[in-house]
Amino acid sequence: MANARAKLMVLGAALLLAGCSGGEEGGSKMGGGSGGPPASGGEGAAPVARIFSDPEMIARGRQLYRANCARCHGENAQGAFNWRRRGPDGKWPPPPLDGSGHTWHHPLAALRHTIRNGTLTMGGSMPAWKDKLGDEEIDAIIAWFQSLWPDEIYRQWLAIDERARRRNAR
């Protein structure tokens, strides 16, 4: 089982690097890395309960984001303007984290893993943060950029995250 899980981790990492343009979980067609919102779950749905909702945590995450991540992912996490295309060096520019990209395809564990370890060892260009930021700081940053996600995106993400948790609990 541990082996299968390791394979999943590798697969997840490969998807991150591939810009997640292949149709992944979530059911939306993601051709060319276009990360548009999925079909709506219906008008007037109740607001979704968020895992991270403490306003102080979110405010702290915003500061940490500005200090560490904004230079690549943009002041408002909008990503590089050309994030949908590989650069001439074959690498992906920094994608948006604000819900307009594909960040919501990744369960919490995968987001934490990517931020902690970066993507340099996989041929990407994001440095690792585990020696600079503690787990709580990383969670605060996730809390902040998730606070930018519309409810509908967040709801899709929660379903993906719950599936991943169930898989890992087995």
Where on the chain is the footprint of ligand HEC (CB under 6 A)?
Answer: 16-17, 20, 68-69, 71-73, 91-95, 97, 101-103, 106, 111, 114-115, 119, 124-127, 129, 141
Q: Are 166 and 158 in contact (CB under 8 A)?
A: no
- For residues 81-107, one letter each, b for 16 or more C-beta atoms within 10 angstroms of the residue's C-beta and e for the rest, the string is eebbeeeeeeebbbbbbbbbbbbbbbb
Q: Are 83 and 94 in contact (CB under 8 A)?
A: yes
d(Cα 8, Cα 139) in Å, to the nearest integer? 22
d(Cα 167, Cα 165) in Å, to the nearest integer? 5
Which is nearer to ligand HEC, 129 or 157 (by Cβ)? 129
Over its C-alpha atoms, the chain yields an Rg (Å, rounded) of: 16
**Minimum distance, C-beta of residue 77 to ligand HEC, in the bound complex (Å):** 9
Q: Are 148 and 98 in contact (CB under 8 A)?
A: yes
Which is nearer to ligand HEC, 68 or 147 (by Cβ)? 68
Instruction: Name the residue number minimizing CB distance to ligand HEC.
Output: 124
Which is nearer to ligand HEC, 82 or 168 (by Cβ)? 82
**Minimum distance, C-beta of residue 70 to ligand HEC, in the bound complex (Å):** 8
Which is nearer to ligand HEC, 3 or 121 (by Cβ)? 121
**Minimum distance, C-beta of residue 158 to ligand HEC, in the bound complex (Å):** 17
For 140, other C-beta atoms within 10 Å of its C-beta total 23
**Minimum distance, C-beta of residue 43 to ligand HEC, in the bound complex (Å):** 28
**Minimum distance, C-beta of residue 44 to ligand HEC, in the bound complex (Å):** 29
Which is nearer to ligand HEC, 7 or 71 (by Cβ)? 71
